[in-house]
Amino acid sequence: MKKVYILISITSSQNQTLLNVIEYFKSIGISMSNIYLVTNTNDNIIKSFSINLIRLSKISSIKSFFQQIFFRKNKKLLYDMILNLNKYDSIQVLVPHFLNILSNYFYTASSRRLGKDKLKIALYPDGMLSYQPYSINSKYDPYLLKRWLVGKLIGTPFKLFNGPIADPFNVIDFIYTYLPNETIEYNSKKLIKIAFPKSDISGNNMLILGHFNQSRFQKVDLISISRAIKKLPMLKKVKRIYYKIHPRLKSSRNDLFYRVLKLDKSLPIEIVQDNQPIEMSIKKLKSSTVIAAVSTSLVNLKLKFGEDLKCYYFGLDDYVSSDYTKYYNKIFKQLKINNLVQNNV
């Protein structure tokens, strides 16, 4: 039986996770020639993938958006690839969720062309999505309608849905996960545990992570967060404090949290602006303490570095709906990701 595995990725963090999935595939004897990565990312991680690569153009500007509208290069690549999959007897497609246009389109297009008998859909870990049933309540949600319009214009239609973004179409066959006991199973037939390779970390530096959703920062008392950082017991031993701007923010001028932190001259903040996954930045910056506004990056960092890394979060009630805070609290408690404010009142 000819089998093929299609991995869908749109972020560097997802590429990092897929490295771990690929290691699992290696351990069970799957040939690397039978694995394809379909991605619009362009980072150093994918250079280490010894698999087939389908590189899509990233829509990062008005110009690139109109190029996709008129030339539809991504649509042509995906369409040709899906047609070519007909020669396989079993096709497993791995997605992080169905809220992004690429995953959504690839599933709907391949299910039409290939049939559901040979097509298997799997989820892989993407931050907290494995551990909470985050849902869209209406298929006419503005967030979805925007994706529907963009997908229609660039030739990769986005199927509207309501329900959990990880399995809105009730099609998940397998779920790859780091923490099986905490994973939302939906109607999957099997949970598959994958390993997050452990790594040591050395150094006495601190890293603060910026957040893309700046509107939520306006609801948080950032002055109190700054004071809580100063009360951390390890601060006396910290040599350098770094601030990593979110990749989707173009400048520190757009980062409200950074501007508030800079008001306190006793916190000498140094900006880090790179496109590397946070797991790589941590090692490079020798940071043994990380602070973030409920970033799901904290979950991956604790899985990778364990007790060597101290992680603190803030703003849970401001960033996360009350329907999902219990899932965050459960995972954060298990992984020892501490509440910055409660630990420093």
Terminal CA-CA length for the chain: 61
Burial class (CB in 10 A: 0-12, 13-18, 19+), 143: exposed
For 11-55, the pLDDT digits (tens) are: 888 998 999 999 999 999 999 999 999 999 887 676 767 899 999
Mean pLDDT of the chain: 89
Name residue 291's beta-bridge partners.
208, 312
pLDDT of residue 165: 96
Architecture of domain 205-344 in this structure: 3-Layer(aba) Sandwich (3.40)
Helix (H) or strand (E) holding 17: helix 12-27
The boundaries of every CATH 3.40.50 domain in the chain are 3-193, 205-344
Query: What's this model's pTM, rounded to 2 decimal places?
Result: 0.88
Q: 165-179 pLDDT, tens per residue?
A: 999 999 999 999 999
Residue 213 pLDDT more than 90?
Answer: no
Just give the CATH number of 3-193.
3.40.50
For 29, residues 6+ apart whose C-beta sits below 8 A from its C-beta are none
Q: According to the model, what pLDDT value does residue 345 have?
A: 47
- Give the range among 15-19, 22-26, 121-125, 262-266 with minimum mean pLDDT: 262-266
